[in-house]
Amino acid sequence: MRLLITGVAGGAGRLLAQRLLADPAVTALTGLDEHPLRPAIPGLRFVRAALDQPEASGLVAGMDAIVHPASLDGGADGSRRVPDGVLVDRTKRLVDMAQAANVRRLVVILSGAVYGGPPGAAHSEADRVRGHSAGSLVRAQAQIADYLDAVAARWPSGTLVQLRAAWLCGPGATRLVRWWQRVPVIACGRGERLFQALHPGDLVGAVCLALRGRLAGVYNAGGAEPLPLHAVAQVTGRAGACAPLGLLLLRAWLAQHRGGSAPSPDALRALYGGGVLDTSRLREAGWAPRYTTRGALLDALAAL
């Protein structure tokens, strides 16, 4: 199988590339990213370019499958995010190129925040995408989800898989827990909220399942046993600390504009206003995650 992975310079993209290089079914692996890949991954052909640059168009032809992480966690995995509108346009361009090149399988990773609220609700794949009014980040994810739904109905020669993922936490995905070690986890006056994490290793397992031809359509991916944010605060050493959501959003905005590491304000709105993902469909297809939400959080903390 000849395979292309976009966003390979990010933590989860690197882990995915390393795992796939060990798969005997993968005969050639190419990684694409507009950011440098440091350190290099032995055995990976790396091309530094964005999806809307000429260098990218020539890579798609001849590929059997493509993995495209349009979002790994709603914007808190530590990767350098492009503007949301640009992400939508680049994803559409990739889909168009894949169709024109008769790529057999396209796996797109989106944020589970596309379902929108209400807070704490459990979302299955049958639920409507309602994230269009939940801030620019979630709106972009919802627009991509709508586009992919439409494309899947008119792409008879290929298989399109959407993986809608919970918040990524673990090695290579520590940005959210780093943020929580500096600021309160609890947003005062917001009521009880549930947090659901996804370990990068379990995301890789879902992607590998999709590439083996076991999946088609939309699947939720998230760790079992979501935690109340009060429990998350204890795990991250922030028990008893509380701040208004408006203050947390302001701090995130200031951190970003000063060049610091912080989730975007829109990511925080999605975190405190969203639900959790029902992963029954993916488990029934053979996905066997190793980590619960607590386990993913602890592994992220251990990686700091």
Query: Looking at the predicted structure, is the pLDDT value of residue 80 above 90?
Result: no
Omega of the bond prior to 289 within 30 degrees of 0, cis?
A: no
Give the residue with greater pLDDT, 107 vs 239: 107
DSSP label at residue 74:
S
Burial class (CB in 10 A: 0-12, 13-18, 19+), 177: buried
Query: Which CA distances in Å does 225 have to 126, 274, 277?
Result: 21, 16, 11
Q: What is the mean pLDDT of residues 100-111?
A: 91
Cβ proximity of 33 and 6 under 8 Å: yes
Give the residue with greater pLDDT, 175 vs 157: 175
Residue 269 is predicted with a pLDDT of 84
Q: What is the mean pLDDT of residues 179-199?
A: 86
Residue 16 is predicted with a pLDDT of 83
DSSP codes of every residue in 95-113? HHHHHHTT-SEEEEEEEGG
- At residue 58 the predicted structure's pLDDT band, cuts being 50, 70 and 90, is confident
Q: Which helix (H) or strand (E) holds 197?
A: strand 197-198
Cβ proximity of 36 and 13 under 8 Å: no
Distance CA(213)–CA(207), nearest Å, equals: 10
Residue 275 is predicted with a pLDDT of 85
Instruction: Please report whether residue 242 resides in a domain.
Output: no
Q: What is the mean pLDDT of residues 244-270?
A: 83
Q: What is the mean pLDDT of residues 261-286?
A: 87
Percentage of the chain surpassing pLDDT 70?
A: 93
Instruction: Please report whether residue 201 resides in a domain.
Output: yes
Give the SS3 label for residue 202.
Answer: helix
For the chain, give the mean pLDDT: 86
Neighbour-count burial for 218-240, b at 16+ CB within 10 Å, e otherwise: bbbbbbeebbebebbbebbebee
Instruction: Please report whether residue 263 resides in a domain.
Output: no
Radius of gyration of the chain (CA): 18
Instruction: Please report whether residue 110 resides in a domain.
Output: yes
Query: Looking at the predicted structure, is the pLDDT value of residue 77 above 50?
Result: no
Instruction: Please report whether residue 28 resides in a domain.
Output: yes
Query: Looking at the predicted structure, is the pLDDT value of residue 107 above 50?
Result: yes
Query: Looking at the predicted structure, is the pLDDT value of residue 79 above 50?
Result: no
Query: Looking at the predicted structure, is the pLDDT value of residue 4 above 60?
Result: yes
DSSP-assigned beta bridge partners for residue 224: 292
Cβ proximity of 297 and 169 under 8 Å: yes
Residue 203 is predicted with a pLDDT of 92
Query: Looking at the predicted structure, is the pLDDT value of residue 71 above 50?
Result: yes
Between strands 194-195 and 276-277, the pairing is: unpaired
**pTM (predicted TM-score):** 0.91
Instruction: Please report whether residue 120 resides in a domain.
Output: yes
Q: What is the mean pLDDT of residues 9-36?
A: 86
Give the SS3 label for residue 277.
Answer: strand
Reported as a single tens digit per residue, the pLDDT across 168-180 is 999 888 888 988 9
Report the number of distinct structural domains present in the chain.
1
Cβ proximity of 172 and 117 under 8 Å: no
Distance CA(176)–CA(43), nearest Å, equals: 31
CATH of the domain at 42: 3.40.50.720
Give the SS3 label for residue 130.
Answer: coil
- At residue 72 the predicted structure's pLDDT band, cuts being 50, 70 and 90, is low
Give the residue with greater pLDDT, 117 vs 215: 215
Instruction: Please report whether residue 103 resides in a domain.
Output: yes
Helices marked H in 45-174: 54-60, 84-100, 136-152
Query: Which CA distances in Å does 202 have to 131, 140, 281, 282, 291?
Result: 25, 24, 15, 12, 7
CA torsion sign, 47 to 174 to 20 to 91?
A: negative
Give the residue with greater pLDDT, 156 vs 285: 285
Question: Domain limits at 88?
Answer: 2-170+196-224+275-289
Instruction: Please report whether residue 188 resides in a domain.
Output: no
Q: Among candidates 248, 274, 263, which has minimal Cα distance to 131?
A: 274
Q: What is the mean pLDDT of residues 252-273?
A: 80
